[in-house]
A and B are shown apart, each in its own frame.
Chain A
Amino acid sequence: MPHLSRLLILVSLFSGSAFVHAADPPTEPADIIRTFEKAWVVPKGYMRPLDDSGWKARMTAFQKLAAMGEKAIPALTDVLANGEPETRVFAAQALGLMADPTAKPALESALKDKTAAVRLYALDALSMFGKLAPTGELKAMKEKDANRDVKSHVGFAQDRDDMPDPIALRKTLAGFDCAKLGTAVLGKAAPEFELTDATGKTYKLADFRGKKAVVLVFVYGDT
């Protein structure tokens, strides 16, 4: 009997874990968005605290949604139209990073959103399909939008001097390894990177190994 009871325990353990797996539904895009909403707290000031982890939730959600691809678009367009303000901002930014043409009508509607950041990211997202042609609506936005940054982004979207490559952008994001989030640590090897400058020249940190010290200055477009 002791053998049998042991066997029973083993069987129940295995069936238990199998049950948990079977009951564990596959992650849906809406779940990823909800996880982001819970983790993303808007700070009182304009800076997130140094120990904030909301930014990690934002990047992780972007990566997961990009990895899902077009399956994630309906959930994003839904919250873009119906979500809370911060979720609508998140959705507009995500749709710009994913640049799926099926999201275009929802992004065009989002140009009328009452939250400025939604309008701004919707403009960026729409410019991922090519620079925006002048329309009466855009002209009015550029001249009269209540937010001066939105006005600037109409200009960015209309003046872009390149052919956007949304597939490459989405691939970069989908391939991002979230285990590397926040892994620059003093005294340790600096995380590798490879980025392109404004002339199209690519630089890798590894290329300077043994040759030069490197200074990285993170800026935000206006410095």
Chain B
Amino acid sequence: MRDKVAEFEKRIVQLFAIDPHESHRVRHMLRDVGTKPDEVLYPVLADPVNAVSAIYGVAFQMSIHTEWSNRPATFVIDKDGVLRYEKRGTAFGDRPKPTDILAEIDKLGKGK
């Protein structure tokens, strides 16, 4: 993902990760991987009550690390705010590759 971030930036796309925990857990996770919170390549947003996960229909759907967590999922929203791509994973690690997401963004066309 890291080496692909420049490709996302080139396409004027905002990337967000959404984690279904409080923000101290997000910072703990970043510490564990040796990244300072202000040095992340893209913002990791804390969704402590799973509200956004629930609105996007992914909350409490995967049992992992002894928690009921969100299903792995990726969404692409165009410049007009329209949902243009979704991938709702059916297994741990069932995610589109960064190149797949970039291809979806390229499909949005100019001005999107």
Contact = CB atoms under 8 A, between A and B. Distances in A.
A222 interface: yes
Interface in A207-223: 208-223
A221 B65 contact: yes
B68 A217 contact: no
B42 to A, nearest CB: 9
Given A50-B90, A58-B68, A199 B37 contact: yes
B24 A223 contact: no
B40 A220 contact: no
Interface stretch (A19-27, A76-84, A136-144, A177-185): A177-185
6 contacts: A47-B91, A195-B47, A205-B81, A213-B112, A218-B20, A220-B70
A223 B69 CA distance: 13
A210 B80 contact: yes
Interface in B64-100: 64-86, 88, 90-92, 95
Contacts of A55: 54, 59-61, 68
Interface residues of B, number: 77
Interface string A36-68: 000000000011101010111011001000000
Nearest to B40: A198
Contacts of A176: 49, 51, 54
Interface of B: 8, 11-30, 37-38, 40, 43-86, 88, 90-92, 95, 101, 105, 108, 112
B72 A219 contact: yes
Nearest to A219: B17
B14 A208 contact: yes
A105 interface: no
Given A184-B55, A198-B37, A213-B14, A219 B86 contact: no
Contacts of A8: none
A127 to B, nearest CB: 8
Interface size class of A (residues with CB under 8 A): 35 or more
Nearest to B52: A193
B18 to A, nearest CB: 5
A121 B44 CA distance: 22
Contact of B45 (A58, A172, A185, A195): A195
A217 B84 contact: no
A205 B77 CA distance: 9
Interface stretch (A9-17, A106-114, A156-164): A156-164
B103 to A, nearest CB: 12
B45 A184 contact: no
A162 B23 contact: yes
Given A55-B61, A220-B70, A215 B76 contact: yes
A1 interface: no
Contacts of A195: 18, 45-47, 52
A191 interface: yes
Given A149-B65, A215-B76, A221-B20, 14 more contacts: A47-B62, A59-B50, A117-B66, A176-B54, A181-B57, A190-B83, A195-B46, A197-B40, A209-B80, A213-B77, A217-B95, A220-B69, A221-B25, A221-B65
